[in-house]
Amino acid sequence: MDIQTILVFILAILTINLIAVGIYVILVLREFRQTVKKANYVLDNVNGFTDAIINPISTLAGIISGVTESVKAVKQISSLMDKEEDKKKDE
């Protein structure tokens, strides 16, 4: 065999190897894309679940804050009324 035939043979083998590696890379990237889509779906579900939990909790926090402010207002009013009663007693 002369050198040119050997080089053509080696070139053909390298070409076949590169084609096989390229196909394998394409398959891996396709699988990776599917995995990313599934992970995105899971994250969307978790996001919806946390939103479903957070909304009632924030509403409850608002109610508790309102009750706290109401108690403070009632204490303010009662302290003002006590001061007025003390003034009337002093007179």
Average pLDDT of the chain to the nearest whole number: 89
Q: Which pLDDT score, from 0 to 100, does residue 87 have?
A: 66
Residue 67 pLDDT more than 70?
yes
Q: Model's pTM, two decimal places?
A: 0.54
DSSP 13-77: HHHHHHHHHHHHHHHHHHHHHHHHHHHHHHHHHHHHHHHHHHHHHHHHHHHHHHHHHHHHHHHHH
Alpha carbon distance 77, 84 (integer Å): 11
Q: Which pLDDT score, from 0 to 100, does residue 52 have?
A: 82
Tokens representing residue 30 in the block? 């396709």
pLDDT band with cut points at 50, 70 and 90 for residue 62: confident
- For the ranges 30-34, 52-56, 85-89, which has the lowest average pLDDT? 85-89
